Amino acid sequence: MEKKNCYILGIESSCDDTAAAVINNGVILSNIVATQKIHEEYGGVVPELASRAHQQNIVPVVTQALKRANINKNELKAIAFTRGPGLMGSLLVGTSFSKSLAFGLDIPLLDVNHMQAHILAHFINTEGKKPPSFPFIALTISGGHTQIVKVSHYFEMEILGETIDDAVGEAFDKSAKILGLTYPGGPLIDKHAQNGDPKKFKFPKPKVAPLDFSFSGLKTSVLYFIERNVAENPNFIKENMDDICASLQYTIVSYIMDKLKNAVKITGINEIAIGGGVSANSGIRKALEEAETTYGWKVHIPKFEYCTDNAAMIAIVGELKFKNGIFANQSVSANARMRY
């Protein structure tokens, strides 16, 4: 039997990507992302500029998402938007836009937690991929977050551990900045690492609780390491770029794998689903694939476009909430520190 159409628009504006997507019964019909380039020249996201860019981008991005999905806004059944966590000025743009649009169209609003969305992105219908089965362990790794979460059901999630300072993406980006690489430096470290020796240099792994992370010490040790070596040889970075990147990536990846091993041991769950921009890292992907054979884990890695910040993941959470009757109303406000 054919399912009735149920078009839901998802809107994401928590950081520096303005995104809109249309979903229909688990299938993504469009997934548009406008990445703000303005931050590159500052070496990091500037909140005030992000908010302004969202205001400029949001109408064209939503228009494009509807057009690509080949639907009219009057066919929408509901609007899902990122309520938090994120940058307040950025969240406000998506929140107020979504509230106005839902009000104008007289359709329900669905508020979405960005972190839950990174996890539930695994439930988007994707050819050749089966969604994780409950319970599973989710690892969200990006420029803004690093968390290990026990997922017992769609909206039953428990944070088992998280970073106590920087996110893993920040560790990549800040180290890259020290090496003189452009922002965001994570993908560049990954690229250089492919040609380097991961055991050439040693960096410390910070000691914190078994399921927590800490990355600020790593950044500092990279800084001292570089300063020390450049004082002796001004060409040190240039001559050793590939090995430095490979060693750094090896340290970060093995640190993450240590934490996952702890999580599997503590919970007895060996099904792992990852999400967030750092999931694109070739070292982490390889390590997880190897863990399937070595430890018998079942690993889920989403399509890249659903790993980085996107609105398809907001739309799928919206759809799950819609089908379970979990609605927001017009009094809902953005929440920069939203928890589960």
Count of residues interacting with ligand KG4 (CB under 6 A): 18
Residue from 44, 131, 187, 198 touching ligand KG4 (CB under 6 A): that is 187
Min. distance of Cβ 86 from Zn ion in angstroms? 8
247/281 with CB nearer Zn ion:
281
Give dist(CA 321, CA 327) in Å, integer.
7
Beta carbon of residue 50, minimum distance to ligand KG4 (angstroms, whole number): 12
For 284, the enclosing helix (H) or strand (E) is: helix 282-295
Tokens 């628009």 belong to 9
Residue 25 CB contacts under 8 Å (≥ 6 apart), including other chains: 3, 5, 6, 319
Q: Which is nearer to Zn ion, 98 or 146 (CB)?
A: 146
Q: Which of 309, 314, 315, 321 binds ligand KG4 (CB under 6 A)?
A: 309
Q: For binding to Zn ion (CB under 5 A), which residues are involved?
A: 142, 309
Stretch that binds ligand KG4, among 92-100, 123-131, 201-209, 270-278 (CB under 6 A): 270-278
CB 306 to ligand KG4: min, Å? 10
The DSSP symbol for 13 reads -
Residues 6+ apart with CB under 8 A from 101: 9, 62, 73, 79
162-181 positions binding ligand KG4, by CB under 6 A: 169, 172-173
3-class DSSP state for residue 62? helix
Residue nearer to ligand KG4 on the CB measure, 143 or 318: 143
- Which residue in the set 57, 146, 147, 308 belongs to the binding site for ligand KG4 (CB under 6 A)? 308
Peptide bond into 302 cis (omega under 30): no
Q: CA-CA distance, 218 to 197, in Å (whole number)? A: 19
- Per-residue binding string, ligand KG4, 127-156, x by CB under 6 A, is ---------------xxx------------
C-alpha to C-alpha distance for 143 and 243, rounded to whole angstroms: 23
Residue 172 interaction partner, one of ligand KG4, Zn ion, none, beta carbon < 5-8 Å per kind:
ligand KG4
Instruction: List beta partners, residue 62.
Output: none
DSSP state of 4: P
CA 256 to chain CA centroid, nearest Å: 15
Say which entry of ligand KG4, Zn ion, none residue 243 contacts (CB below 5 to 8 A, set by partner kind).
none
Between residues 66 and 288, which has the closer beta carbon with respect to ligand KG4? 288
Choose which of 166, 190, 212, 319 interacts with ligand KG4 (CB under 6 A): 190
Nearest approach in angstroms of CB 16 to ligand KG4 is 8
What residue is closest to ligand KG4 based on CB? 277
Q: Are 109 and 329 in contact (CB under 8 A)?
A: yes
Binding mask 272-291 for ligand KG4 (x = CB under 6 A): ----xxx-xx----------
DSSP codes of every residue in 110-151? EEEEHHHHHHHGGGS--TT-PPP-SSEEEEEESSS-EEEEEE
Q: How far apart are the first and last CA of the chain?
A: 36
- What is the contact surface with ligand KG4 in residues (CB under 6 A)? 15, 142-144, 169, 172-173, 184, 186-187, 190, 276-278, 280-281, 308-309
